[in-house]
Amino acid sequence: MRERAKVSQEELAKRSGVTQSIISALESGDSVNTTTGTLKALAQALGVTSSEIIYGEEIE
């Protein structure tokens, strides 16, 4: 999703307030658990919903 938005991990970290290391861990699968606050911050920074991040597509 981040790559589709053409945003680097560093830029997403700045926009969302989530550390680049957390973003990297989530993307690589090293971490599969996160807080609701982190999820919401990432979604808002990417201009998508939390559901889109979880399920990988828009939920109607």
Q: Which residues contact 28 (CB under 8 A, 6 or more apart)?
A: none
Q: Can you give the pLDDT at residue 58? A: 58
Q: Can you give the pLDDT at residue 55? A: 86
Q: Can you give the pLDDT at residue 31? A: 83
Is 27 within 8 Å of 7 (Cβ atoms)?
Answer: no
Q: Can you give the pLDDT at residue 7? A: 92
At 10-60, the pLDDT tens digits run: 999 999 999 999 999 999 988 888 999 999 999 999 999 998 988 876 555
Q: Can you give the pLDDT at residue 60? A: 53
Q: Give the CA distances from residue 16 to residues 42, 45, 55, in Å, rounded to whole numbers and listed in that order.
A: 6, 5, 20
